[in-house]
A and B are shown apart, each in its own frame.
Chain A
Amino acid sequence: MMDVVQRIEGLQTVATVQEALELKRQSAINLLSRLRKEGYVTSNGGGKQPRLYKVTRYRQLPRHKGMFDLLNKHNPRFKLAAWYDHQVHGRYTEEDAILDAIDTESIRALLATLRLFNHVTDWPRLDWEAKRRGTWNRVGALYDVARLFFRVRRMPRRYIPKEREQQALNAHINRKNFPVIGQKWNVDIPFNEKDVASI
């Protein structure tokens, strides 16, 4: 079986499998079906599109969604290539994804979190968990930046630092790396307005 898999490894259609293994059409379909049951093949397409079969030497296991899945789901134009496979078995929400992205300390992951703030529904949990991890000021700063550029659900007032609450956030435009927000939350923001425009 492994010999066969090695010979047809990669993206295939029924016709290319037929050609590679010199099989009749029905035999090729049967083989792909058997390999799919064993986990070596996944397929997509069909209908008006050609059905493509992805054949690998290792089993393609079903995935649980993780940080990269959520970040990419809410960023239609800005996709992250996952640098490791992150999967969560259990409840995983936008709040968790924001916090995990901050923990990665990757600028691209931080940029990707901006669009998630419109999907935050559980502010108490985000506040509690962020304070537990010591990253609440970063969450706040990212939220303020997100508000400048995107439609974002309001953060309840009790979570906003009292001082500078009324500060005009538009003062940030055309200034380097959002200094007022950085000062308000006491963090450095590692990207600028142009970076945000790219997402």
Chain B
Amino acid sequence: MTSLNDQETLFTLIAKNLPTDVTCWAFGGTAMMYLGFKEGTKDIDLLFEDETGRNAFIEAIKNLGFAETSPVTIYVPEKLKDKTKPLMFKRGDTRLDLFATKVFRTTLSAAMKEGKGAVHEYRNGQTLKVAVVRSEHIAYLKGITGRDKDFDDIRTIIIKEKDFDWDVFVDEAVWQHAHGDTWALLDTERTLRDLQEHVFIEEKYLKRLYAAQGARAGRAGR
């Protein structure tokens, strides 16, 4: 497990080894730690807006002794067929999952960029800027990665974030579906159905997902 202190030390060291300034987006357990929802994470998930940023980051972590590892045992096989699967690097117990441009089929939407929850800058020679997506988007991304324990994390977020905005959560699924992620609505619907066994979620949110699916199917039919 990587704690928040370990992560901050690591990012400060990475900033020192970067060849240029780099900006990335934190989601998953990393983002949860920044927002105080969790104490440790098994992996540090980062999304880079382009390959250049990811390559600079990889150069820095290789200098720190990280080596590439296989994602085969971590993600479900259908996700691994995706071209946008992450590059994974490991050193000891610390694992970094590095995505570029997309998290599988999910794009960094305008709502994610504008509604960011926090920005942490590590200045140590070069600057590593880690933007943290808001809690609704963390939950949405957890819903689509389909890994063990992600469901528990979503529950934790919903319990701890008393102002959790279901509209933002559903809007994101609809936007992603409209922008090419064909699994977005299905994954979100499944997540919401599972969550309904633990928390109260109004039926209107599911209806919006069905309406979005119907509208898409209707357009395809024409």
Residues of A with Cβ closer than 8 Å to B?
Answer: 2, 9, 39, 56-61, 64, 66, 84-92
Mark each residue of chain B from 14 to 42: 1 if its CB lies under 8 Å from any CB of chain A, else 0. 01000000000000000000111101000
Cross-chain contact B123 with A89 (CB below 8 angstroms) = yes
Q: Check A58/B36 contact, CB under 8 A, given A89-B8, A89-B11, A89-B12.
A: yes
In the bound complex, CA of A87 to CA of B160 (Å): 22
Residue of B nearest to A58 (CB): B36
In the bound complex, CA of A61 to CA of B34 (Å): 8
Interface residues on B, range: 20 to 34
Contact stretch, chosen from B70-78, B114-122, B173-181: B114-122
Residue of B nearest to A59 (CB): B36
Q: B159: which A residues are within 8 A, CB to CB?
A: 2, 57
In the bound complex, CA of A58 to CA of B161 (Å): 8
Cross-chain contact A87 with B121 (CB below 8 angstroms) = yes
Q: B35: which A residues are within 8 A, CB to CB?
A: 58
Q: Check A85/B36 contact, CB under 8 A, given A2-B159, A9-B162, A92-B123.
A: no
Cross-chain contact B119 with A84 (CB below 8 angstroms) = yes
Mark each residue of chain B from 119 to 131: 1 if its CB lies under 8 Å from any CB of chain A, else 0. 1111110000000
Cross-chain contact A86 with B36 (CB below 8 angstroms) = no
Q: A58: which B residues are within 8 A, CB to CB?
A: 35-37, 160-161
**Which of B37, B117, B122 is close to A90, meaning CB atoms less than 8 Å apart?**
B122
Residue of B nearest to A91 (CB): B123
Cross-chain contact A88 with B121 (CB below 8 angstroms) = yes
Residue of B nearest to A5 (CB): B160
Cross-chain contact A90 with B121 (CB below 8 angstroms) = yes
Cross-chain contact A85 with B12 (CB below 8 angstroms) = no
Residue of B nearest to A64 (CB): B120
Residue of B nearest to A57 (CB): B160
Q: A86: which B residues are within 8 A, CB to CB?
A: 118-119, 121
